[in-house]
């Protein structure tokens, strides 16, 4: 795989860091119990050692009526800022889950 220069601060400090994003072949379905929160055949899978792989699902494939945006946010020097959503059908267990 060819490396592509990335201007993000994390990569400037650590140019050997590898994060891959590839199309996922198959359908990703996210459920809270029997309730479907998202389903996508267009998901991407992000890999970044030493963390487990993570799915990124297009917003168009997410049922935002089942979510509530929270005030929680994080910053990654490689991937940027992230906002969080609670999964309403999951109750307290769904807080900041997405």
Percent of the chain at pLDDT exceeding 70: 95
Whether 4 maps to a domain, the answer reads: no
How confident is the model at residue 14, as a pLDDT?
A: 86
Partners of 11 in the beta sheet? none
Q: Is the pLDDT of residue 5 over 80?
A: no
20 belongs to a structural domain: yes
User: Token match 């509530």: residue?
Assistant: 68
Domain that holds residue 21: 9-94
What per-residue confidence (pLDDT) applies to 94? Answer: 95
Number of domains in the chain: 1
Please provide the average confidence, as pLDDT, over all residues in the chain.
Answer: 92
- H or E stretch at 56: strand 54-56
Domain containing 43 — which CATH number? Answer: 2.170.150.40
Q: What is the DSSP letter of 94?
A: G
- Burial letters 48-71, b for 16+ CB under 10 A, else e: beeeeeeeebeeebbeeebbeeee
Six token digits for residue 91: 């109750």
Tell me: the pLDDT tens digits for 36-83? 999 999 999 999 999 999 999 999 999 999 999 999 999 999 899 999
Residue 88 lies in a domain: yes
- 1 found inside a domain: no
* 19-34 residue pLDDT tens: 999 999 999 999 999 9
Residue at 36 is within a domain: yes
């Amino acid at each position: 795989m060819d490396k592509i220069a990335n201007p993000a601060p994390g990569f400037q400090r650590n140019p050997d860091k590898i994060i891959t994003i590839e199309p996922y072949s198959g359908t990703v379905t996210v459920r809270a119990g029997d309730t479907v929160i998202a389903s996508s055949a267009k998901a991407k899978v992000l890999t970044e050692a030493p963390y487990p792989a993570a799915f990124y699902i297009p917003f168009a494939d997410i049922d935002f009526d089942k979510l509530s945006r929270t005030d929680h946010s994080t910053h990654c020097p490689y991937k940027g800022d992230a906002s969080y959503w609670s999964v309403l059908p999951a109750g307290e267990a769904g807080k900041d889950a997405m």
